[in-house]
């Protein structure tokens, strides 16, 4: 079976699991990864015979994807801000909205030696790693409650050469290790009742601990962030990813005037990021 035949077979096997254009892109990515080729090579070398060992691996991959398992978890990797990160089912798959949050922080703050930054609920470590690589003079910290997530984040930081300090802490209960100039967080913010409207891929495979909050307390993590900052006069600003329908509620938690808060929309036009200026 050559590359073209195999690609067509894999696409047919996945039809119905997503939009055809998305399936084609996923299959191309899958083939490139397993064959060690570039994405363009998948098309340019489509007449080449595919080794039996690779075909067996690809059939196994597709069987996993047919259960709804996201391709990123099948491959154990995801791209974010032009970098390849290890991911597994202990952490969320990186979203473009979070990349926008990172870009916002970087556009606001230049490199400065000794500038202290912390990411609350770091997951795979995408936020602090990208910040440290872009701002090597910063002292970047990150925390998470999950030992498995932290272990993965540490592997990502080591592989990408980012010197980030990681802490296993519960942001709802524990104090921060020190004072920080900036606090950044993409905390859980989806009310449990909204889970039914999410894709089966998300519900079945991504960690609920990093996604959902109780319906009776949807601002749980933001209220804690506001509480933390109230005791840290050194903190100059807080950047957060937020629920599209909760931006004003989150803003009000900090007890500041509208001139101290800025809401930013994502690429889809939804309120998605909030900056609170404290300094």
SS3 162: coil
Do 207 and 90 meet the contact criterion of CB atoms below 8 Å apart? Answer: yes
At CA 113, angle to CA 107 and CA 118, rounded to 5?
65
Residue 174 is encoded by which pair of tokens?
């524990």
Helix H or strand E segment including 271: strand 271-277
Q: Which pLDDT score is estimated for 21?
A: 92
pLDDT at 215: 95
Q: Provide the pLDDT for residue 236.
A: 96
Low-confidence ranges of the chain (pLDDT < 50): none
Q: 11, 4, 36: which is closest to 25 by C-alpha?
A: 11
pLDDT the model gives residue 16:
84
Rounded to two decimals, the pTM is 0.94
The predicted structure's pLDDT at residue 48: 93
One-character DSSP codes across 69-130: --HHHHHTEEEETTEEEE--TTSPPP-HHHHHHHHHHHHH----TT-EEEEES-TTSHHHHH
**Cα separation, 26 vs 242, whole angstroms:** 28
pLDDT score for 256: 74
Instruction: Give the pLDDT score at 257.
Output: 66
């Amino acid at each position: 079976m050559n590359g073209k035949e195999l690609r067509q077979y894999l696409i047919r096997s996945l039809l119905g699991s997503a939009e055809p254009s998305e399936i084609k892109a996923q299959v191309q990515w899958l083939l490139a990864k397993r064959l060690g080729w570039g994405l363009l090579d998948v098309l340019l070398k489509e007449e080449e015979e595919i080794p039996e060992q690779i075909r067996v691996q690809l059939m196994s991959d597709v069987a996993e994807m047919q259960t709804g398992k996201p391709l990123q978890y099948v491959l154990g990797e995801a791209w974010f801000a032009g970098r390849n990160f290890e991911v597994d089912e202990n952490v969320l798959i990186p979203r473009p909205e979070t990349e926008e949050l990172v870009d916002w922080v970087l556009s606001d703050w230049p490199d400065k030696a000794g500038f202290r930054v912390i990411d609350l609920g770091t997951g795979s470590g995408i936020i602090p790693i990208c910040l440290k690589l872009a701002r090597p003079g910063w002292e970047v910290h990150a925390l998470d409650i999950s030992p498995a997530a932290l272990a993965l984040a540490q592997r990502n930081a080591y592989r990408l050469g980012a010197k980030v300090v990681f802490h296993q802490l519960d942001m709802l209960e524990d104090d921060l290790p020190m004072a920080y100039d900036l606090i950044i967080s993409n905390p859980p913010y989806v009310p449990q009742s909204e889970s039914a409207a999410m894709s089966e891929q998300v519900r079945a495979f991504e960690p609920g601990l990093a996604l959902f909050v109780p319906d009776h307390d949807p601002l749980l993590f933001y209220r804690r962030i506001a509480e933390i900052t109230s005791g840290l006069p050194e903190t100059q600003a807080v950047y957060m990813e937020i629920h599209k329908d909760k931006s004003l509620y989150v803003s009000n938690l900090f007890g500041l005037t509208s001139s101290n808060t800025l809401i930013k929309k994502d690429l889809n036009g939804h309120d998605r990021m909030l900056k609170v200026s404290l300094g």
